[in-house]
Structure 1
Amino acid sequence: MASSKIDFNTRIAPVLEALRALHHKYHTRSMERDPDVGKEQGVLTQDEVHLKRDLFESLRSSLLPSIKPHLSALLTALDLPRDAIQYPNPDIESILDILANLDQTVENAVQYINTAPLKPFGRKDPHDHHLGQCKTFRCFNLKTDISRLAIDIRGLFWTYIKLIESWNLPWDPTEDTTFRPPTPREQTLDCLQSIDRTIRRSQASDFAHLQAEWRAVGESFDYSLVKLANITVRHRKNSSVLREHVLEQSRLALPVNKLLRTLFHKISNTTTKNLAFTLDTELNSTTLDRLDTDPGVILHQCQVYAKNLEESHRANSMTDSSWSLRYRKDCLSKTVEPTVSLLELYIIPLSSGIDHPSLESDFKAWLFEWQGLWRTAYSRLLNAIRRAEEEGLYS
Structure 2
Amino acid sequence: MHSETSNSTRALAQRARKIQSVAVLFHGLSQKFDLPPDGFESGEKDPNLTMEDMGDKAEILGKLQCNLLPLLKDQVSSLLTTLDLQRDSKDQRPNLDVESTLEILSNFERTMTSTLSSIRILAHGSPLPDEKHDHCLHNLKSFRCARLYLYIDGIVKPTINVLLIFCSRFTQCCGVAIRLANPALGWEEPLQSMSSICGIAAAACGLIDETITLCRKSDFALIQEGWLTAEGGFNEQLEHLTELADLRVTWNRSWPFPRFFQARSLI
TM-score band by shorter chain is 0.5 to 0.7
Deviation at 1:45, TM superposition (A): 4.8
Asked if the contact 2:47/2:132 (under 8 Å) is kept, the reply is no
Per the normalisation by structure 2, the TM-score is 0.66
Asked if the contact 1:63/1:105 (under 8 Å) is kept, the reply is yes
Counterpart selection for 1:204 from 197, 217, 220:
217
Deviation at 1:190, TM superposition (A): 0.7
Deviation per CA, 1:135-166, whole angstroms, max 9, x where unpaired? 01101111221212122111110111121233
Structure ranking higher on relative contact order (CA contacts 8 Å, 6+ apart): 2
The residue correspondences of 1:22-171 to structure 2 (distance < 5 A) are: 22-29=29-36, 35-36=41-42, 39-80=44-85, 88-115=94-121, 118-120=122-124, 125-147=131-153, 148-167=155-174, 168=177, 169-171=185-187
Deviation per CA, 1:282-325, whole angstroms, max 9, x where unpaired? xxxxxxxxxxxxxxxxxxxxxxxxxxxxxxxxxxxxxxxxxxxx
Q: Does residue 17 of structure 1 match 2:24?
A: yes
* Partner Cα separation in structure 1 for residue 232 and residue 64 of structure 2: 33
* Partner Cα separation in structure 2 for residue 82 and residue 219 of structure 1: 35
* Partner Cα separation in structure 1 for residue 25 and residue 231 of structure 2: 45
Asked if the contact 2:49/2:129 (under 8 Å) is kept, the reply is no
Change (3 A) 1:181 1:211: farther
Q: Secondary structure at the match of 1:19?
A: helix
* Partner Cα separation in structure 2 for residue 184 and residue 137 of structure 1: 33
Asked if the contact 2:130/2:142 (under 8 Å) is kept, the reply is yes
Change (3 A) 1:195 1:8: same
Deviation per CA, 1:11-63, whole angstroms, max 9, x where unpaired? 21221121111011012238x796427x4245325532333323222211222
Q: Secondary structure at the match of 1:57?
A: helix
The residue correspondences of 1:236-315 to structure 2 (distance < 5 A) are: none
* Partner Cα separation in structure 1 for residue 136 and residue 24 of structure 2: 48
Residue 185 of structure 1 is matched in structure 2 by 198
Structure 1 counterpart of 2:119, one-letter code: I
More helix by share: 2
Change (3 A) 1:217 1:21: closer
Deviation at 1:191, TM superposition (A): 1.0
Q: Which runs of 5+ in 1 are unaligned?
A: 221-395
* Partner Cα separation in structure 2 for residue 219 and residue 69 of structure 1: 29
- Structure 1 segments, 4+ long, off by >6 Å, are 217-220
* Partner Cα separation in structure 2 for residue 123 and residue 156 of structure 1: 35
Structure 2 counterpart of 1:97, one-letter code: E
Deviation per CA, 1:258-302, whole angstroms, max 9, x where unpaired? xxxxxxxxxxxxxxxxxxxxxxxxxxxxxxxxxxxxxxxxxxxxx
Per the normalisation by structure 1, the TM-score is 0.46
Q: Which runs of 5+ in 2 are unaligned?
A: 178-184, 234-267
Change (3 A) 1:23 1:219: closer
Deviation per CA, 1:189-245, whole angstroms, max 9, x where unpaired? 11110111001112112232233342337879xxxxxxxxxxxxxxxxxxxxxxxxx
* Partner Cα separation in structure 1 for residue 41 and residue 228 of structure 2: 33
Deviation at 1:76, TM superposition (A): 0.3
Change (3 A) 1:163 1:219: closer
Change (3 A) 1:5 1:60: same
Change (3 A) 1:42 1:99: farther
Q: Secondary structure at the match of 1:48?
A: coil
How many matched pairs?
Answer: 210
Q: Secondary structure at the match of 1:129?
A: coil
